[in-house]
Amino acid sequence: MRVNYHPILGKDERKKLVKIVVDGREMMAVKGEPIAAALLANGIRKLRKTRKKGEYRGVFCGIGRCTDCAMIVDEIPNIRTCITPVKEGMQIITQEGLGKWERK
2 in a structural domain: no
* Identity of the residue numbered 25: R
8 in a structural domain: no
Per-residue pLDDT at 42:
94
Per-residue pLDDT at 11:
74
66 in a structural domain: yes
4 in a structural domain: no
Residue pair 55/32 in contact by the 8 Å Cβ criterion:
no
Per-residue pLDDT at 13:
65
Domain count within the chain: 1
Q: What domain range includes position 84?
A: 13-96
Say how far apart CA 21 and CA 34 lie, in whole Å: 15
The CATH number that applies at residue 20 is 3.10.20.440
pTM comes to 0.82
- One digit per residue, pLDDT tens: the chain, 104 residues? 666 777 876 776 667 899 999 999 999 999 989 999 999 999 999 998 888 888 888 888 888 888 899 999 999 999 999 999 999 999 999 998 877 666 65
Q: Are strands 91-93 and 17-22 parallel, antiparallel or unpaired?
A: parallel
Residue pair 67/59 in contact by the 8 Å Cβ criterion:
no
37 in a structural domain: yes
Say how far apart CA 30 and CA 36 lie, in whole Å: 11
